[in-house]
Structure 1
Amino acid sequence: MTRADRGQRRTETLALPGVLTVEQAARTVDAVLAVQRPDGAIPWFPGHHLDPWDHIEAAMALDAAGEHEAAGAAYDWLVRHQDADGGWFAAYQDGDPARPTDRSRESNFCAYVAVGAWHHYLSTGDDAFIEHIWPTVAAAVEFVLDLQQPGGQIGWKREAVENGGAAVTDALLTGSSSVHQALRCALAIAEHREEPQPDWELATGALGHAIRRHPERFLDKGRYSMDWYYPVLSGALRGPRALARIEEGWSRFVVPGLGVRCVLPNPWVTGGETAELALALWAVGESDRAVRLLADMQHLRADDGLYWTGYVFEDDAVWPVERTTWTAGALLLAVAALGGDEATTAVFGAERLPNGLAPACCPPRL
C-alpha cells in the first residue's frame, strides 16, 4: 500500500465538503504525526512545550483518523510520566519529561486523561489498554477531586512544590467544565470495569450543579469565549439552556467569515476556539452553523496541513506565528463528530456518559 493509499483509508471519514478534502485531511494528520516525538509526546510544535491537555486533544484526533498506534503511544507517555500524586506538570519543554517549564499542576490538564482514555477505548475496543491505563486515570481523578471545593467547583491548580505546593482554590468555569466531562468519562470507564466509584458520582453531580446553577462560584472570565461555550461543549448544559447560552454570546464572539474571538475586545480570532465552538454546536444539533464555522477558519490553514493559532483581523496579521498540533486536533475532532465517528460522538455527545449523582435540589441537565 502506498503512503497516499494509506492516507486515504485513514482519513476518508474526515472529508467534509467545504471544509476538508480527503487529501487535506491526510496532510493534516501527517503533520501532527510529524511533530510527535518517538517517545509519544506531542508538543504544540517542534521546540515548544507540551501540556497534558493539548497533548491528549492531538492524540484523540489521531484516533479519529485511525492512527491508533500513535495515539496509544501518546497515552503511554502519560502513564510513564505521571507524578506519584496523580498529576502532571503544566508544561514540558518539547515534551521532554526531564525539562518541565511549569511545575504547577492544573486540574483540567490532569483530569483530561479520562476523556482521552475512554475515546481511545471506544475507537479501538482494546480492553488491555483500558486495564493498563485505569490506575493512571484513577490516580488523576483523585488528584483532581482533592481540589474540589465545598460548592462543587474545582480549584484550578496546585502550585509547584518549590512554591509551597498549595492548592489554588479559585475555580475557572472553563476548567471545571472540562473536568466535569472528564469525570463522566472516568465513571464510564469504571462502569465498564464493573468497579463502582460512588465518591466520584457524588463529586460529578455537585460539580455539574455548580456549573449549571452557580456562576458566582467561578472567577469572572466572561471576556473569554471558552467560558461562554465550554459548559455546552463539555456536556454540562444541554437542551434549551444550552441553545440560549449559545445565542447570548454569538454576536459578541463570532466574527462572520473569520471565526471566534479568543477574548473580548481583542480583534483576534483563534482556530482552536472556532473548532471547539463548532463541536459544541454539533452537540446541540446546530450542525449547519458548525460547518460554516469550520469553513470560515480555513483561512488559518497552512501549506503543511497545520493551522495558525490565530489571526489579528484589524492588522491583517497571523499571530502568534505558530502552527499548533492542538488547533489541528480540535478541527479534526469537530469534523469527526460531524461525520458521525462513533467514539467522538459518544464522548462529546455525552448522552451515554454517566451523569453522577445530582444534589437533591436539582436533577441533572436542567
Structure 2
Amino acid sequence: MIPAVPGVISAEQVRRTAESIAAIQDADGGIPWPEGHVDAWNHVECLMALTAAGLRAQARQGFSWLVRHQRADGSWPMKLRDGVPLEGGGESNHAAYAAVGVWHDLLVTGDKAFARAMWPVVARALDFVVGLQTRRGEIVWERDAHGDPAPYALLTGCSSVYQGLRCGVALAERLGDPRPEWELAADHLGHVLREHPEAFADKSRFSMDWYYPVLGGAVRGSRATRRIEEEWDVFVVPGLGIRCVSDQPWVTGAESCELVLALDAAGDRERALKLFTDMQHLRHDDGSYWTGWQFVNEKHFPHERSAYTAAAVILAADALSGSTGGASIFRDAGEHAADRAPTGCGCERVPSL
C-alpha cells in the first residue's frame, strides 16, 4: 500500500513524488543531487522512498549502483558523477546507511533472498564504519583518500551511524549471521551520543545537530522530549517548517520532514502531523519538492527541487500513516536507547584508531 496521510497528501500524490525521484535517476541507477553528483547516503534515502511508494524496479536498480561502486574497504567515494569519483574520501555515515536501506527493503518487501544478496555489501560497509570508532566510542566522520581517519566526529553523522549499526544488527540476526561487534559498537556510540557532547565538533547552528540524536534512535524518552523542547523556538518557523541553520531565514523541506520522523519516533504525533502539513507549501505541481524557502525574500532557495527532499516527504508520510512494513524503522531504532549503555563509559573496550 502506498503511503497517504488523509487531508495532507494522497497515495496518488505520493506516487507522483516517487516518480519525480525516478525521473532523475541516472542510467547506472544513481540518484543525483541537483548539482549532478551522487552520494551514498542521499542515494539510499531515495531508494527507501521508491521502495515505500512501490517503485521496486527503480529501487533495485539503485541498489545495483551501490554494489558496483562500493570499494574494497567497504566505503563509497563521497561524491560520484557519471560513476566517476569526484572526492576520494569515504564517509562513515554514508557507509552505515546501506544497512538502513537493505533492512528497510526487507521490512517492506519481505524479500529475504535480496537481503542475502546484499548482505556482503552491508557487512563490508559496517566493518568500515566500526574501524573508525575511537577509544571513547564516537565514530569519526571519514577516512580520507590516503586512508587516514579524520581527527574529529560529527554529531549528526554519528546519530545516523547509530541507526545504521542497529539496522545492521537486526539484519544480521534475521539472516543468521550475528555480528556482536556491531552491537557493542552501537552500545558505545549511543552512550557517547547521550553523555559526551564534547566528543563532537560544534555544528550547533545546524538544525540536524538538534534533532538527529532522536531521529537516529540514540535518544528517547524524557531526554528526547527535553532535547526537542530546548531548541524548538530556535529552529521551527510556524506554518512553514524548520530552519536549516539557526541564523538564516531559510526553511528546508528535508530537515522539516526529518524532524517529523523524529517527533513521530518520540511519540509526539500531533506536532509531527502539524509540521508535515506546514511544509507542503514546498510541493511543486509535478510532485517534486523545492529544497527550501527564504521567508524574508519570499523566494525558493536554492532554486532547485531535490530528490532527497522528495524522499524525506515519502518516508515521513509512511511513518505517519503506517502504510508499509518499513514505516516504523525510525521508531524502532530507539529500542535500546536507554538500556544498553556500557558499564561506566566502557571506553577502554573500544580500540583507538
**TM-score greater than 0.5 by the shorter chain:** yes
Q: Does 1:303 align with 2:285?
A: yes
Query: Cα deviation per residue 1:275-332 (whole Å; 9 max; x = unaligned)?
Result: 0000111111111211111111111111221111111111111111111111000010
Q: 1:321 to 1:341 in 2, by over 3 A?
A: same
Pick the aligned partner of 1:157 from 119, 142, 145. Answer: 142
Q: In the alignment, is the contact (CA less than 8 A) between 1:147 and 1:169 conserved in 2?
A: no
Pick the aligned partner of 2:28 from 13, 28, 39. Answer: 39
Distance 1:223 1:283 in 2: 23
Distance 1:169 1:125 in 2: 40
Pick the aligned partner of 1:325 from 292, 307, 310. Answer: 307
| Higher mean C-alpha displacement, 19-28 vs 224-233 | 19-28
Query: Cα deviation per residue 1:206-247 (whole Å; 9 max; x = unaligned)?
Result: 000000111111111111100000000011111111011111
Distance 1:282 1:354 in 2: 17
The structural deviation recorded for 1:342 is: 4.1
Identity %: 51
Question: What is the aligned partner in structure 2 of residue 85 from structure 1?
Answer: 73
Question: What is the aligned partner in structure 2 of residue 3 from structure 1?
Answer: none
Question: What is the aligned partner in structure 2 of residue 140 from structure 1?
Answer: 125
Q: Does 1:50 align with 2:38?
A: yes
SS of the aligned residue for 1:302 comes to coil
Distance 1:159 1:20 in 2: 42
SS of the aligned residue for 2:326 comes to helix
The structural deviation recorded for 1:127 is: 1.4
Distance 1:205 1:352 in 2: 12
Distance 2:16 2:173 in 1: 37
SS of the aligned residue for 1:35 comes to coil
Question: What is the aligned partner in structure 1 of residue 341 from structure 2?
Answer: 358
Pick the aligned partner of 1:15 from 4, 20, 42. Answer: 4
Structure 2: segments with no counterpart, 5+ residues? 347-353
Distance 1:35 1:155 in 2: 32
Distance 1:129 1:35 in 2: 24
Question: What is the aligned partner in structure 2 of residue 7 from structure 1?
Answer: none
Pick the aligned partner of 2:163 from 149, 169, 181. Answer: 181
Distance 2:136 2:327 in 1: 30
Q: In the alignment, is the contact (CA less than 8 A) between 2:75 and 2:95 conserved in 1?
A: yes
Distance 1:224 1:232 in 2: 15
Question: What is the aligned partner in structure 2 of residue 250 from structure 1?
Answer: 232
The structural deviation recorded for 1:357 is: 5.3
| Higher mean C-alpha displacement, 131-140 vs 21-30 | 21-30
Structure 1 outlier segments of 4+, above 6 Å: none
Distance 1:138 1:351 in 2: 19
Structure 1: segments with no counterpart, 5+ residues? 1-9
The structural deviation recorded for 1:351 is: 6.1
**1 or 2 for the larger relative contact order (CA 8 Å, sep ≥6)?**
2
Pick the aligned partner of 1:168 from 125, 150, 159. Answer: 150
The structural deviation recorded for 1:36 is: 1.5
Distance 1:138 1:218 in 2: 26
SS of the aligned residue for 1:19 comes to coil
SS of the aligned residue for 1:50 comes to coil
Q: Does 1:127 align with 2:112?
A: yes
Pick the aligned partner of 2:50 from 62, 68, 82. Answer: 62
Distance 1:188 1:179 in 2: 14
Relative to the length of structure 2, the TM-score reads 0.93
The structural deviation recorded for 1:103 is: 2.0
Give the counterpart letter for 1:106 in structure 2. E
Q: In the alignment, is the contact (CA less than 8 A) between 1:346 and 1:352 conserved in 2?
A: no
SS of the aligned residue for 1:196 comes to coil
SS of the aligned residue for 1:169 comes to coil
SS of the aligned residue for 2:141 comes to strand
The structural deviation recorded for 1:353 is: 5.8
Give the counterpart letter for 1:226 in structure 2. M
SS of the aligned residue for 1:167 comes to coil
Q: In the alignment, is the contact (CA less than 8 A) between 1:154 and 1:169 conserved in 2?
A: no
The structural deviation recorded for 1:362 is: 7.5
Pick the aligned partner of 1:24 from 1, 10, 13. Answer: 13
Distance 1:297 1:359 in 2: 39
Question: What is the aligned partner in structure 1 of residue 184 from structure 2?
Answer: 202
Give the counterpart letter for 2:116 in structure 1. E
The structural deviation recorded for 1:15 is: 2.1
Question: What is the aligned partner in structure 2 of residue 5 from structure 1?
Answer: none
Give the counterpart letter for 2:166 in structure 1. R
Distance 2:335 2:46 in 1: 22
Q: In the alignment, is the contact (CA less than 8 A) between 1:61 and 1:333 conserved in 2?
A: yes
The structural deviation recorded for 1:29 is: 1.4
Give the aligned length: 345
Distance 1:343 1:352 in 2: 17
